[in-house]
Structure 1
Amino acid sequence: MQFWNDILGNKVLVAACSGWFVAQVLKTILYVVVNKSFNPERLMGDGGMPSSHSATVMAVVSSTCVLYGASSFEFAISAVLALIVMHDAMGVRWETGIQAKVINNMMDWFLQLDKDIPVEEKLKEFVGHTPMQVLFGALLGTLIGYLMAI
């Protein structure tokens, strides 16, 4: 029982989980508003506004800053990790989504030419983030992390 009390008492961990959860719920709500349909994959999926990756790591950064100070090694580690995660979300993962879209279009085109081609599952196209999605996720995470740590 002490283990669970320790986990739930860890403000940095709770802030990170809260940042992710709030971002995923907001992402799902925004998807419903824009597309007029509910997609349950949005609750757990990657991509979209706001970036849950950014919200999660920035909740860690801001709560760590409040709890341990900006000169602590905990803050330094979390800040570097956040920069890597957010850069990756905008770079590699965004490009992966673009490549998936091109490959899916090529598969559709080949299927129109030859119906006997074995149909593979389409690649996920919604895996990365625009800079705006990362920015709003970072702002959301910063706020959540701060509020959870005070």
Structure 2
Amino acid sequence: MHSYMFAILPLLAWVVSGCLKFAVNALKYGAKAREHIGNGGFPSTHTSVVSSITMGIGFTVGWDSPLFGLGVALLMITVIDATGVRRAVGTHAQWINVLSRRHPDDEASLLREKQGHTKFEIVGGLGVGTVLGWIASWFISF
């Protein structure tokens, strides 16, 4: 099984992070938790996925390996995107929705405003990814 662990790890991180995100939304929003499924929220699933494989590489192949360096670069791009670009998209969606509500005759659907992540949500994703990468390293080393 260990030979497939690097391929399974990002998928596992996606599932674990998604389940955690739904649990947090269920506690926060109750019956309306399903409305909050998608981008944004705690923990950052994108960060969990990329950090899981990056940390898995670090724990097993080595912190000084070129693969770990590549993983860190990809993780940095993911975090910058989540906190910058996608957060800006969410802010733009809020303003577009304000303008759309001023014209109730138009049948334009409202845009999803929750797109990016706060630093806390990113740290949550890093935590999930790091823990999963560490656990996976135990399986890979057997």
TM-score by length of 1: 0.85
- Please state if 1:21 is matched with 2:15: yes
Q: 1:93 aligns with which of 86, 89, 92?
A: 86
1:107 and 1:48 mapped to 2: Cα distance?
24
Moved over 4 A (4+): none
Once the two structures are TM-superposed, the CA of residue 102 in structure 1 deviates from its matched residue by 1.1
For the residue of structure 2 that corresponds to 1:36, the secondary structure is helix
Residue in 1 that maps onto 2:133: 145
For the residue of structure 1 that corresponds to 2:50, the secondary structure is helix
CA contact (8 A) 1:24 1:42 kept: no
Residue in 2 that maps onto 1:125: 113
- Please state if 1:46 is matched with 2:39: yes
Mean alpha-carbon deviation: is it higher for 12-21 or for 83-92?
12-21
Runs of 5+ unmatched residues, structure 2? none
Once the two structures are TM-superposed, the CA of residue 42 in structure 1 deviates from its matched residue by 4.7
Question: Structure 1, residues 54-85: CA drift from partner, whole Å, max 9, x if none?
Answer: 11111011101122111211111111000110
Once the two structures are TM-superposed, the CA of residue 14 in structure 1 deviates from its matched residue by 1.5
1:41 and 1:58 mapped to 2: Cα distance?
27
- Please state if 1:12 is matched with 2:6: yes
- Please state if 1:82 is matched with 2:75: yes
Indicate the percent of aligned positions where both proteins have the same amino acid: 25
State how 1:53-72 maps to structure 2 within 5 Å: 53-72=46-65
- RMSD over aligned Cα atoms: 1.7
